[in-house]
Amino acid sequence: MATPTSADEARLIVGVDYGTTFTGVAHGHTGSKTVESIQVINSWPGHGNTNEDKTPSQIAYGSGDDFPNGFRWGSDIPIDKNLVRHVWVKLLLNSPSTANDGANMNADPTFANKPTIKPPSGYMALPPGKTAIDVVSDYLSGVYAHTLDRLSQHYGKEYVDVTPIEFVLTVPAIWSDKARNLTKEAAKRAGFASRKDDRIKLVSEPEAAAIYTIKSTFDSTRNASQLQVGDSFVMVDAGGGTVDLITYEVVQTEPELKIAEKVVGSGGNCGSTFIDSHFQELLRKRLAEAGLGSVPLSKRGPGSKLMKEFETVKRAYGSGDPPNTKPRYLTLNVQDNPKAKIEDGEFELSDEEIKETFRPIIDEIIALVSGQITQVYKQGGKVKHILLVGGFGESDYLYKTLSKFAWGPFGQIDVIRPASAWSAVARGAVLWGLQGDLVVDKRRCRRHYGTELLKHFDPMIHSELDAMISTFSGLKMAKNQISWIINRGDNTDSNKRFRLSCVTSFNRGEKLIHTTQLVACDSDEPANNLRDKEVYDLCLLTADLSEVPEREFDECQIGNNTFLRAEFSIEMTFLPADIRFETWFKGKCYGAVRTRY
């Protein structure tokens, strides 16, 4: 058992990597902040004596003695062909219909930019009466309870009962702010940070992976010579649903390694789950061409023997020297059909067909990596390494393809896949929690943030569609104009605040509670008008200044009436995967701003 530090300093740090297909949890304590001290939970309900670093992100609902909580999750779901498994639900938190109320579908599409495929039957399906956040919180409640149990076994229940736990949840860097907020809300509903003094923080998946990789691979006592000040490397976190990329530049090697985001990160919904989608499409077409009717979901859907065997094929594809190029045979217990290449209840899958299920996804990842390299090149830099982590990052086929690829004027670039690549994100989340914001020096803002602004109407600039007459001044004004507070690509760090200036008038005796709509834009260049389709409402900010004495406000005259006038600011601080909003008035902070996404 680990030896705890003194009670007033001790904290447990738990990294939670809730993924589209698998979930991993790692933990450490403040008594030791080394890579080697981090432990990964590898014993999960339903696994028996088999140790696995992750458990499936699946849930099934039921009743009776077999479902004491109303559901079973992960590997603990019973094998029952009539039981509906809910998988890939994480993607629904950031789907076009969920993120930004569907207003900006091209910014974070799941299948919106994939016209040739669609979600396979049975995937991304919700049970009647439940929303995506309901299902995610149910699943995470199982993860939370099991995590507390494993922590108690490792550190001792008495120690865990009195020691604050900091949960560091990882989220895709490409996700919308709303999706990140939904993830945090789901975790709170599941019980995370429900104990006194426990708390939740968010960090992006590629940043967590980068911290683990540089600490485990480029430690100053081992391979420091591989990274020099000015070197850049592309961090590729290839998971089940998303692939996230951030390019970092080394800004310091001594006494500690520090990195900064070199260019704006990128990513897409091109994880290994989309290989499953292409396989399902191949299956559908071949069965249709052979004239076979619909195959029951229990034989081809989530949890079926067919998909379990395809998962094994997918993981092993491209391994070996030379790699296996013979056909694979997957169990599909339907009638034999030579045209469909089904014999003895087995579905024949050629090597070329397997490669074709990978090809569109690999092409998408190559395009993303190439985009990062090109941006660095335009800034006069050069990418020295590509660091590959994540569940899909374990794929030998992906690793070999990236290693052999010629990246324009750079030629081939060294691809590094660290040990424990599958659990790198969870381990990195613990390191981030233990060491604070010490490794990543600067981040690049992913989108433009702003708010509506009234301007004096200029017929040379403004449209009559935006014209209005001010009820206060009687002047012709232009509405729907935007004041951008921070722009995509700007440097952010946790010590810098961005100010949204607010001015409002109110009656004496009123409590000043002011609401402001924050808007965003994901384009390279921001739009200037709220009516532009690239601009979307992000969240409603509510600043509460009701505790400020009236004598602190100035009087103003509007017409024949006297009002109180308040000039204050809502200040935004960009955290690794979250935004903190605070109300400031005359140099004093009046607390957090309420947000409603």
Q: Do 208-270+363-426 and 12-205 fall under one CATH topology?
A: yes
Place of tokens 């140099």: 587
Cα–Cα distance measured from residue 492 to residue 128, given in angstroms and rounded to the nearest whole number = 42
Can you spell out the DSSP letters for 241-277? S-EEEEEEEEEE-SSS-EEEE-S--EEES-STHHHHH
State residue 565's pLDDT score.
92
CA–centroid distance for 373 within its chain: 22
State residue 116's pLDDT score.
67
CA–centroid distance for 307 within its chain: 25
Q: Which long-range contacts (CB under 8 A, 24 or more apart) does 109-117 make?
A: 109/269, 110/269, 111/269, 113/269, 114/269, 114/274, 114/277, 116/281, 116/360, 117/274, 117/277, 117/278, 117/281
State residue 419's pLDDT score.
84
12-205: which CATH topology? Nucleotidyltransferase; domain 5 (3.30.420)
Q: What is the phi/psi pair of residue 528, to 5°?
A: -110, -5
Rama region for 537: left / alpha / beta (φ>0; ψ in -120 to 50; rest): beta
**Hey, where are the domains in the chain?**
12-205, 208-270+363-426, 273-358, 448-596
CATH value of 208-270+363-426 in 3.20.20.70, 3.30.420.40, 1.20.1070.10, 1.10.3720.10 = 3.30.420.40
Please choose, from the candidates 416, 15, 437, 410, the residue with its C-alpha nearest in 3D space to the C-alpha of residue 200: 15
State residue 219's pLDDT score.
63
Cα–Cα distance measured from residue 303 to residue 305, given in angstroms and rounded to the nearest whole number = 7
pLDDT, averaged in runs of 10, over the chain (597 residues): 51 97 96 90 88 94 92 93 90 67 40 67 87 96 98 96 97 94 97 96 95 79 66 95 95 85 94 94 89 81 91 94 92 89 94 96 97 94 94 96 92 91 95 83 93 92 93 85 95 88 90 95 94 94 95 87 92 93 96 94
What DSSP element (H or E) covers 185? Answer: helix 177-190
State residue 107's pLDDT score.
38
